[in-house]
Structure 1
Amino acid sequence: MFVFGSSLVDNGNNNFIKNAIAKVDYLPYGIDFPFGPSGRFTNGKNVIDLLGEHLGIPTYIPPFTDPSTKGKKIVYGVNFASGGSGILDDTGAIAGNLMSLNAQIRNFEAVTLPDLEVQLRSKSRESLPRFLFVVGSGGNDYSLNYFMGLVNSNVSLEEFTANLTTTLTHQLKRLYNLGARKFALMSINPNGCSPMAKSRFPTRDRCVESLNRAVHLFNVRLKTLVVGVRAQMPDSVLVLVNSYKVIRDIIRDPASKGFTSTRTSCCEVATINDGGTGILCKRGGSICTNRSNHIFFDGLHPTEAVNHVIANKAYASNFKSEVYPMNLKQLSEI
């Protein structure tokens, strides 16, 4: 499995990036992870770890920026994702020297592919069709770009979203041209329902719908992309994992899924007064005792319990509204 994207799928790349502000190498992050704080933006395993277990991958996928990620360590895949990054190169500039999706793909092509060919003793075009390419990016392009006013004020939300999905299409084609054939595309989560959104945009409603509308617009276009781009990428299979719907369903009826806290973060979040952003946990701050009944671990990122639900749905759901046009178990058997 090769992984590209932002914090929801990052497993420690930002730990090794100088000047990266979006860094979670401290408790309470990783409090439930076997190796403690690892750079995963949650209390335990992220959705990539859990998908790896479902797919029978015998090891955690290593982060690209770790100097030890080379040689035999890369034969099951590499994680290139960088928390705070986006589909667009200028997204995440305020969060430090992060790897955009374009930079992640360049690292894959220039550094990992030549090493992989040596390790597997085969050309990448022969080996890559056996790998799953997971891409989970786009949320920061709204929260750290569009809604922060980094784009021209004349650009509408629809135009911005169209540009975003067009750019993503080109990036997927780059991976395809390198030999990728199986793709899992993660939708953007309902960020308007996060504690961070509700603290910035106080509302009596359960979610900030103006933020969710933008995300939903992207997700609809992402499904269109999954259907439309296959004709341009023969022999490829693209699967859309609709984590947006999965989390919205939990929020609508939390008790049926074993959750009780839908509005608050599990950890004490570092506010602007603390030198934070209202997203990440305060270093050494307080934490809830029962992480399994919380949806959000910090101001934005889900708990391991929610990641379990998303990974289980991605792997085995038979509902096309949750995973389209097939689940990842079916994809792995092709």
Structure 2
Amino acid sequence: MDRMKPWGPVLVVLCMNSLNSTVNGAGGGNNEDLGASFIFGDSLVGAGNNNYLQTLSKANIPPNGIDFKASGGQPTGRFTNGRTIGDIVGEELGIPDYAVPYLAPNSTGKAILYGVNYASGGGGIMNATGSIFARIGFQIDYINNTRQQLDKLLGPSKAKDYISKSSIFSITIGSNDFLNNYLLPLVSTGTRISENPDAFIDDMINHFRNQLTRLYQLNARKFVIGNVGPIGCIPYQKTINQLKENQCVGLSNRLAMQYNRQLKNLLTELNWNLQGAIFVHANVYDLVMELVTNYAKYGLRIDTHRP
């Protein structure tokens, strides 16, 4: 994941535990029960959709992909040196091929039976976040098209079972709504004046509720939802706020934690209200904060080199 290779095994444990809870809770007990992995979100799980968009936010040049064996070390559009967490989880669940990017020419026919990746680097929950990218609303528009393709491939009845009983829907999104929207220097000043943090986060939760309900209406039943990580600790935030290496931006992290609390409540609500659905909360924030705080314990070090 985005230059975080030493964190990979720990993140995979989190995702696998979440996914196992989802599959087992829905009555499945082994990898043979799993049909496809449908992936939504931003650059953390993107697999190349931005290659087909008119944007500078692309990962189709080295060193992206240098450790990705499936491409022979060539960039694919993943914002990482190798596989994304979505790729790794699919492998661990026994899915024989990676979920294809929805906008890629080969995202048709039987290839979609292994899953489809709808994620777009820069995308968010709110309509104003990364409007030139595939925000979550567009991504769900895309799977509506995939759903129709599955009806043709399998027949409506089998397609419904394939989606509802045998497929995982993982969603990793929300960071850009803060980083590239509410907290964006200069551009977001008017938004922050007109809308306080409570109101903005309420809007995020309401938008997300609507989009998750749309997925449910398309027969999705097994969900893993990642919360927002400690965005105040990423290099970009630390640089624009002129912080030292061992500091994080308090406001950014507080916003993330406030959103995460409401997200957890939302998933509890949806588990109660949407019959047959299972929403699993993946606590990315605490995991990454543990790594940031105790980095040496996990074999990481501070790079003091300056180019």
TM-score scaled by structure 2? 0.81
Q: Any conservation in 2 of the 1:6–1:82 contact (CA below 8 Å)?
A: yes
Among 262, 278, 287, the residue aligned to 1:246: 287
Structure 2 counterpart of 1:24: 59
* CA deviation profile, 1:283-331 (whole Å, cap 9, x unmatched): xxx8xxxxxxxxxxxxxxxxxxxxxxxxxxxxxxxxxxxxxxxxxxxxx
Structure 1 counterpart of 2:47: 11
Question: Secondary structure at 2:223's aligned position in 1?
Answer: strand
- 1:127 partner letter: Y
Aligned-residue RMSD, C-alpha: 1.7
The CA deviation at 1:53 is 1.5
Q: Distance in 2 between matches of 1:212 and 1:136?
A: 17
Greater CA deviation, 226-235 or 5-14?
226-235
Structure 1 counterpart of 2:24: none
Q: Distance in 2 between matches of 1:11 and 1:142?
A: 22
Identity of aligned residues (%): 34
Structure 2 counterpart of 1:119: 153
Matched, 1:156 2:190: no
The CA deviation at 1:126 is 2.0
Within 5 Å, which residues of 2 pair with 1:1-334? 1-17=37-53, 19-34=54-69, 35=71, 36-93=74-131, 97-109=132-144, 111-123=145-157, 124-129=159-164, 130-148=166-184, 149=188, 151=191, 153-204=193-244, 205-261=246-302
Q: Distance in 1 between matches of 2:168 and 2:191?
A: 33
The CA deviation at 1:229 is 1.5
Q: Distance in 1 between matches of 2:247 and 2:81?
A: 24
- 2:220 partner letter: A
Q: Distance in 2 between matches of 1:232 and 1:174?
A: 14
Question: Secondary structure at 1:23's aligned position in 2?
Answer: coil
- 1:23 partner letter: K
The CA deviation at 1:73 is 0.5
* CA deviation profile, 1:74-132 (whole Å, cap 9, x unmatched): 00110011110111112113xxx3111111101110x2111112222343332211111
Q: Any conservation in 2 of the 1:75–1:120 contact (CA below 8 Å)?
A: no
Q: Any conservation in 1 of the 2:98–2:115 contact (CA below 8 Å)?
A: no
Flag the structure with higher helix content. Answer: 2
Q: Distance in 2 between matches of 1:151 and 1:54?
A: 42
Question: Secondary structure at 1:30's aligned position in 2?
Answer: coil
Q: Any conservation in 1 of the 2:39–2:45 contact (CA below 8 Å)?
A: yes
The CA deviation at 1:152 is 5.7
- 2:170 partner letter: V
- 2:247 partner letter: R
Paired residue total? 261
Give unpaired runs (5+ residues) of structure 1: 269-285, 287-334
Q: Distance in 1 between matches of 2:199 and 2:273?
A: 23
